[in-house]
Structure 1
Amino acid sequence: MAPQEVEALWETVQRQSFDDNKLAIIREALRETSIPADDARRFVATMAFDRNRIELAKYMYARVADRQNFYRVYEALQYQSSIREVQQYIDSYRP
């Protein structure tokens, strides 16, 4: 996804009040494309609830263009247990 497209998506997501709406928009926008890990971190951090951050981080893993930098997404998670849950998901991930 081009940087200007990521910014347009970011602005759309920021206008949403609820995590469910944000998640739906992000999923639709990223269904067939990928974004850099730093942008994925930004989107994960915008979620109000940790369970939604975890869900989005798991979804983002397959859509991060630079997976070697996925560790940066962990900065958006509030708890060590959340990071472990995402890491376990990644360990078992099969495309």
Structure 2
Amino acid sequence: MFLLAAHGLQAQSRREAAILIETERGEHFLLAIGGRIINPVPSSRVAVGDLPPGRHALNIRILGRGRRAQVLNARVDLAAGYESAYVLEPTRRGRSLILRKVDEVPLARPLPPADAPTSCRYAMEQEDVDRVLRFMKDEGFDDRRLEIAKGEIKLAGGIMTDDLFLLMKALSFEDRRIALAKFAYDYVCDRHRFSRVFDAFEFSSSKRELQDFLYKQ
């Protein structure tokens, strides 16, 4: 009976979907999904989990800076077992924002491989990563955000590549992202997936610098 129940819970978790929406320039917005208000307090980053997969109707009210708010209605398709990441970015003229899908990350957290460092028995859990992201968001300076991320990774003793990617994306400047990737490399439990962090960079020079670092390891 217990095994059947556990199997049912695992199957249910695989059917869940999630969505993450953030603004490229830091504008705050209100999000409603299927008519349900998600964040009563405006925010520049909203994550929603435990959603049924399939098509969802979004209503996004973007607060303007000294001008009228923009209302954006969109329909998105969420895949079972994945978090779909979207960004609200300006149009070419910069007068309004559009919603663009940028990533799709598996919800299931991969287990460290058998040959992972011993410290990876204590890799950061999902709630740890969410907490660190909140701490980083509350800080106004990238240098402080970087120190928070490095300190938490060192304290935990290990981190998965997908979680490191999220912490890197929480930094605004490329050089800080590079610094975090280099620092965290010794703590990454699934190094065979480390190339995933290259997606956090916008400039090819940043990717080359990290590639040079890896070559020397």
TM-score by length of 1: 0.89
Is 1:60 aligned with 2:184?
yes
Q: 1:3 aligns with which of 118, 126, 140?
A: 126
Query: CA offsets per residue over residues 9-57 of structure 1, 9 Å max, x none?
Result: 1211121111111111111111141111111111111211111111111
User: Which protein is richer in strand relative to its size?
Assistant: 2
Is 1:24 aligned with 2:147?
yes
Name the structure 2 match of 1:84: 208
Partner SS, residue 187 of structure 2? coil
Which residue identity does 2:197 align to in structure 1? Answer: V
Name the structure 1 match of 2:165: 41
CA RMSD of aligned residues (A): 1.2
User: Which protein is richer in helix relative to its size?
Assistant: 1
Runs of 4+ in 1 over 2 A off after TM superposition: none
Structure 1: gaps (5+ residues): none
Rounded to whole Å, the distance in 2 between the matches of 1:63 and 1:21 is 20
Percent sequence identity is: 31
- Structure with greater Cα Rg: 2
